[in-house]
Amino acid sequence: MKKCFDAEKYLKVQKQKIKKRIKMFDKLYLEFGGKLIDDQHAARTLPGFLPDLKIKLLQEFKDEAEIILCINANAIEKSKIRADRMISYETEVLRLIEFLREKGLLVSSVVITLFNGQKKAKDFAEKLKDYKVKTYFHTFTKGYPTDVDTIVSDEGYGANPYIKTTKSLVIVSAPGPCSGKLATSLSQLYHEFKRGVNAGYAKFETFPVWSLPLKHPVNIAYEAATADLADKNMIDYFHLEKYGKTVVNYNRDLETFPVLKEILKRITGKTVYYSPTDMGVNVIGECIIDDKAAKDAAKAEIVRRYYRALTDLKKGIVTPDVPERIKLLMNELKISEEERLVTKKAEEKRIKSGDLPSACIEIGKKHIVGRKTEQLSPISSTILNALKILSKIPDEVDLLAPAVLEPILKIKNKTANFKENHLRLGEVLIALSICSTTNPTAKKALENIEELNGAEFHATHMIPDDEMIILSNLGVNATCGTEIDTK
């Protein structure tokens, strides 16, 4: 996919925007929406946007910033899972703490929100002691959302303990949506003003892009990505009324803004923001350097989201209205899942191989196919075929030595709950790494694995979660059918 986003310019302009907002206050609480790390949606929708770009941005503020992570106690109690990595929210919090610290960033505390005595939440707080992170418990805010007098009082935000912070910029983030970032930020503002600190609030959201048209494919791709939340892009009518300028926001921010505006005024004694867009600091629209390429990438992402919704429906993760919602967005843009060429090629391979589960990867203009074999999953065989072509290795050359494969299969069949006589992608990549220590050809193939980044991929049968995560980590844009390989 053609590059359409200038990451270097983004870091420079975004840093300036945040610094300008910080100067308005003694301390700024910046609610950080979306994924803090591994933002694959942004990378797919805006080629050139790096998955770790937000971390690079935060590192620009490492001397003046600290991070508060919020997690909903009910998410802990229900063992809520992040679908993109198949790990629990609490595991994601621990992963974030370790990752951010490795990058030189300060994670000062974790807030367990909507706490009501949940046992698992208490257990998680105990676990956080091993990470030397201060843990706070916040309960439901009394009076929210209608009784502003109670909300902005010692019975409301004042009932929560004050989180001690020492930096001028406080990033408030979370492992997923509905984690209590806004309530935590506002509770802190209440306590700060009681202490005589001129604190402020701002919001960092990657999507929707406020400066792009409402029906721009990049913004519609955001609706597709949040179809399970029923998010809807809308014109920010508060901004239009105040400034006479048409900008884009989304339904939840617009619905809550009147209350939020009044809460901020009660806490600070003045009106700082006149619209949800005023609160935002993102400058992503300024860094799109090729609008046509951005539109094409966004349309491709919407189709991929549709395939993902169909597989999630098959798994029982979402309800039928989710893929239906995305299909309506596709109809609006006059695009179809049938236009995905890599899907057609994978189905053709399936038919030619006698209905065996098959896959296809598209790199540039090349379509490389693979099928399920006696030793390899269709995903594994396709990736190996792709690495051969990228490395200019003849097809008849074996990258994996039988002496390496056979012991792995043997131990797998002894330890698995069911017999599976082929190797999945993770196992094959480990085998390839082992072979590369003695086989120069395998080493050459492994050295080209980064060339898979940005490639389109489709499997005729449902891709197991472990293989899907690896494909995502490799930057491969993968989709699959809804059939399950039961053999």
Q: What is the CATH number of the domain that holds 355?
A: 3.40.140.40
Please report, for the domain that includes residue 128, its CATH number. 3.10.630.10
Note every long-range contact of 141-144, with CB atoms under 8 Å and residues 24 or more positions apart, other chains counting.
141/183, 141/187, 144/183
If asked whether residues 256 and 367 sit together in one domain, one would say: no
Q: What's the pLDDT band for 487 if we cut at 50, 70, 90?
A: low
pLDDT tens figures, 95-124 = 999 999 999 999 999 999 999 999 999 999
406: Cβ contacts below 8 Å, ≥ 6 apart: none
**Is residue 333 situated within a structural domain?**
no
Query: Number of helices (H) and strands (E), helices first, in the chain?
Result: 20, 14
In this structure, are strands 107-113 and 65-72 parallel, antiparallel, or unpaired?
A: parallel
Instruction: Return left, alpha or beta for 387; rule: phi > 0 is left, psi -120 to 50 is alpha, else beta.
Output: alpha
**Is residue 310 situated within a structural domain?**
no
How much is the average pLDDT of 476-481? Answer: 96
How much is the average pLDDT of 171-194? Answer: 95
How much is the average pLDDT of 359-378? Answer: 90
Evaluate if residue 418 carries a pLDDT over 60.
no
**Is residue 293 situated within a structural domain?**
no
**Is residue 105 situated within a structural domain?**
yes
If asked whether residues 124 and 28 sit together in one domain, one would say: yes
Distance of CA 310 to the CA centre of its chain: 19
If asked whether residues 281 and 347 sit together in one domain, one would say: no
DSSP state of 280: B
**Is residue 457 situated within a structural domain?**
yes
How much is the average pLDDT of 285-307? Answer: 97
If asked whether residues 160 and 21 sit together in one domain, one would say: yes
Evaluate if residue 269 carries a pLDDT over 60.
yes
Q: How far apart are CA 361 and CA 367, in angstroms?
A: 6
Could you tell me the residue range of the domain that residue 443 belongs to?
Answer: 342-483
Q: What's the pLDDT band for 58 if we cut at 50, 70, 90?
A: very high
Give the residue from 204, 210, 212, 223 showing the smallest Cα distance to 277. Answer: 210
How much is the average pLDDT of 351-359? Answer: 93
If asked whether residues 202 and 92 sit together in one domain, one would say: yes
Amino acid 452: pLDDT: 95
In this structure, are strands 169-173 and 27-32 parallel, antiparallel, or unpaired?
A: parallel
Structure tokens at 334: 């006059």
User: CB of 436 within 8 A of CB of 442?
Assistant: yes
Amino acid 38: pLDDT: 82
If asked whether residues 185 and 270 sit together in one domain, one would say: yes
Lowest mean pLDDT among 31-45, 188-202, 242-256, 326-340: 31-45
Q: What does the mean pLDDT of the chain come to? A: 93
Amino acid 411: pLDDT: 77
CA distances (Å), 149 to each of 145, 152, 181, 199, 258, in order? Answer: 11, 6, 21, 20, 14
Evaluate if residue 134 carries a pLDDT over 90.
yes
Evaluate if residue 35 carries a pLDDT over 90.
no
If asked whether residues 246 and 369 sit together in one domain, one would say: no
211: Cβ contacts below 8 Å, ≥ 6 apart: 247, 248, 285, 286
Evaluate if residue 412 carries a pLDDT over 90.
no
> Percentage of the chain with pLDDT > 90?
83
Amino acid 33: pLDDT: 86
If asked whether residues 255 and 375 sit together in one domain, one would say: no
If asked whether residues 282 and 357 sit together in one domain, one would say: no
**Is residue 374 situated within a structural domain?**
yes
Residues in the chain: 487
* pTM for this prediction: 0.91
**Is residue 72 situated within a structural domain?**
yes
**Pick the residue with more confidence: 88 or 35?**
88
Write the DSSP assignment of 341-353 as a string of letters: HHHHHHHHHHHHT
Q: Is 62 helix (H, G, I), strand (E, B) or coil?
A: coil
The angle that helices 425-436 and 440-447 make with each other, rounded to 10 degrees, is 130
If asked whether residues 250 and 351 sit together in one domain, one would say: no
HEC profile of 376-423? ECHHHHHHHHHHHHHCCCCCCCCCCCHHHHHHHHHHHHHHCCCCCCCE
How much is the average pLDDT of 73-92? Answer: 88
Evaluate if residue 83 carries a pLDDT over 80.
no
Note every long-range contact of 229-237, with CB atoms under 8 Å and residues 24 or more positions apart, other chains counting.
229/177, 230/325, 233/208, 236/210, 236/275, 236/276, 236/277
Evaluate if residue 281 carries a pLDDT over 70.
yes
**Number of domains making up the chain:** 2
CA distances (Å), 392 to each of 75, 104, 247, 457, in order? Answer: 48, 40, 49, 20
Q: What's the pLDDT band for 420 if we cut at 50, 70, 90?
A: low
Structure tokens at 247: 């900008």
**Is residue 267 situated within a structural domain?**
yes
> Percentage of the chain with pLDDT > 70?
98
Evaluate if residue 174 carries a pLDDT over 90.
yes
Report phi then psi at 192, rounded to 5. Answer: -65, -45
Amino acid 1: pLDDT: 72
181: Cβ contacts below 8 Å, ≥ 6 apart: 31, 32, 33, 70, 172, 173, 174
Work out the number of other CB atoms within 10 angstroms of the CB of residue 231: 20
Q: What's the pLDDT band for 90 if we cut at 50, 70, 90?
A: very high
User: CB of 431 within 8 A of CB of 403?
Assistant: no
If asked whether residues 258 and 386 sit together in one domain, one would say: no
468: Cβ contacts below 8 Å, ≥ 6 apart: 478, 480
User: CB of 422 within 8 A of CB of 487?
Assistant: no
How much is the average pLDDT of 210-237? Answer: 96
Q: Which one of 240, 265, 287 terminates a domain?
A: 287
Amino acid 409: pLDDT: 77
User: CB of 83 within 8 A of CB of 59?
Assistant: no
If asked whether residues 196 and 110 sit together in one domain, one would say: yes
Cis peptide before 208 (omega within 30 of 0): yes
